[in-house]
Each structure stands twice: as C-alpha cells, then as structure tokens.
Amino acid sequence: MQFTITINQVKALEWGLNSQQALLFAFIYGCPSWTKPVKTDDGIFFALSKAKIVEELPLLTDKPDTAYRMLKVLDEAGLIELSSTSNITLFRLTEKAVEWNQKLDGSEKYPTPAENKGRKKIRSTSEKSPSKVGKKSGLGSEKNPTNQDTNHQDTNQGTSQDLQNGPGKPAPSGGLVVLDRLETPRVEIPADMPGPKDPSCKTFKVWANYAMAYRKRYSTWPVWNAKVGKQMTQLVDRLGADVAHHVAAHYLKTNDASILRKCHSLNELLANAESYHTQWVTGQRVNGATARQQERTEANLSAAEQAAQLVLAKRQAGERNEYL
C-alpha cells in the first residue's frame, strides 16, 4: 500500500474536493508511472481496479463500490476520464489535473531531484569544521529534506515495502499536507494480543484484523492455538492475502443468531469463506432474518406468477368455448 500521500490543499479547495476525494486524487495522480497502459479506441488509458484502490488506500475505504463512486466524482469534476474493459476500470488524467503539481507560474513545485541531474551533493558542515555545526542547517537536515520529489516519490512503492526502505518525509510547503506512514496496521497492535507478532508472517494481517475486531465486540481476545493458525492459513489460501483480512473483520459485524451463539467462531468463517467474501464485496450482511425475508419474497412472487398463469389459462379456456 502507499506509505506516503501528498495532498495539494490549495488545488483541492479550488476544485471543491473534500479530504477523501483529495486523498484519492493524490494517489491517482501518480498512478500512470506504474499502472499498465491500455490502448483503446479513444486513446491510451491506465488500468486501475477498485480492489487496488482499497488495497493501496486503507484509510479511504474498504469497499470497492465506494471507491468507484469516488472515481465518478473525480470524473464529474473534470480531473480524470473513466473508461473500462470487460473486467477492469480504466482512467486517464485530464489537462486540468496537471495543475495539481504546478506553481502559479506553471513550473513544477518539486522538479527532478538534483542527484538525477548529476549535481554533486553539498553539505554546509562537515566533521572537519565542527564549529559550524548548529549555525546553518545542511541540505540533509529536517529543514531541507533530501527527498523533494514529492510528486513521484510514492508511485513506485509496493504494498509489501518495508518502512525502513521507504522514502523520507518531505517538508510540507506551498499548501501541501503529507499523510505519512499509511501502513497496515492502522492502529497500534496491543502487546498482549495473542498469535503472530511478525508483520511478515503470512497470517499476521488476517489474524490481527480478526483478533482486534473480536476484542472490540467481545471485550476479550480470541483463542490462538495451532488449529487457529492452520485455519488462518487456509483462509488466506482460499481468499487471497489482499482481501482475507477485510473479510475477517467484516465477519465480526455479522449479527446472525447462529453466529452469535458460537461467538463468531473461526469454524463458521472458514466453512463459508466465499459467502462472507461476497457479503464484504457487496457491503451486505445476510442473516437468518434477511434470508427468511428473501425466501418469503420469492414465495410471494412465485405465488403471484402461478395465480397469473391460472387466470390466463381460464381466460384462454373461456375464449375457446365461445367458438365451439
């Protein structure tokens, strides 16, 4: 996921974007540098699935449909043009969108870093002149961060990138706000949480989401043991590492009586993993009451169809008798 997102507040206010829309556009602005270009009859677009937005921007939303609605808002604002193939959403930036990273004079706010132009790195102080330390900030200090390429510095990050290898935090200027370290987990993991603690562990993400949601609902941690570890591994294998943690957290919102009696057991989650995945994607939670309601609706429709067929059959029979 994206660790650092740079928002141009001046342009966001000028274009009437709220914080969520600005966050999404700031992400989309850098996407052409790494997303796949797709040639269409209308020109070149770039592939960007709704699931990818959810994966890269967990602070924005966890619902693909919500992400798409936000894309439509940016399209209506004249910042992007949307298109699609049979299985993926396509976009491209408009001329208006280019203003996102420009000063009033039309130049780039953060041009190509100096080291890419062959300029030597200069320091105002050195170990040979310790008396100068503290009088003037060096180019590597916090007052003048070395990483000024904020318009592209977040575009080549993989979702599993180690924070220690991430880019430096740029200095906010010119109306920019930097949302840094947007990594999962979004909340601090309590030290007493049972189970895996290593973020690189295959089951860490899905277990942390399940365990935190479980504790929020039941005010206690779920049990962790060898069986639970195997179940979490199976859940990731069946749903994929990109979405299993979302489904696990969504499962804890289920209020079906049979699930509540079992305190949201992992047995139930694993047994019907694909069903809960569908409920997460659609934003719905099916329980006994909703299932019975749908069943009654279907029964009523079936009865109505049968009644209509009966009336039609009687009418046709009457018409035949008239001509006998």
Asked whether residue 139 is domain-assigned, the answer is: no
Same-domain check for residues 164 and 63:
yes
In this predicted structure, which of 5-19, 39-53, 89-103, 210-224 has the lowest mean pLDDT? 89-103
Same-domain check for residues 169 and 219:
no
Asked whether residue 224 is domain-assigned, the answer is: yes
Same-domain check for residues 86 and 153:
yes
Q: Write out the two tokens for 312.
A: 């039609």
In this predicted structure, which of 65-74, 75-84, 210-219, 277-286 has the lowest mean pLDDT? 277-286
pLDDT beyond 90 at 208:
yes
Amino acid sitting at position 305: E
Q: Write out the two tokens for 65.
A: 């449909």
Residues 31-90 have pLDDT tens digits of 888 888 988 888 899 999 888 898 889 888 888 888 889 999 999 999 999 998 877 889
264 φψ region: left (φ > 0), alpha (ψ -120 to 50), beta (else): left
pTM: 0.38
DSSP state of 24: H
Cα 225 from chain centroid? Answer: 30
d(CA 54, CA 67): 7
Kindly report the CATH number assigned to the domain that includes residue 174: 1.10.10.10
Asked whether residue 298 is domain-assigned, the answer is: no
Containing structural domain, residue 263: 204-282
Asked whether residue 195 is domain-assigned, the answer is: no
Bridging pattern class, strands 80-84 and 176-180: unpaired
d(CA 242, CA 22): 24
Same-domain check for residues 95 and 53:
yes
Asked whether residue 196 is domain-assigned, the answer is: no
pLDDT beyond 80 at 121:
no
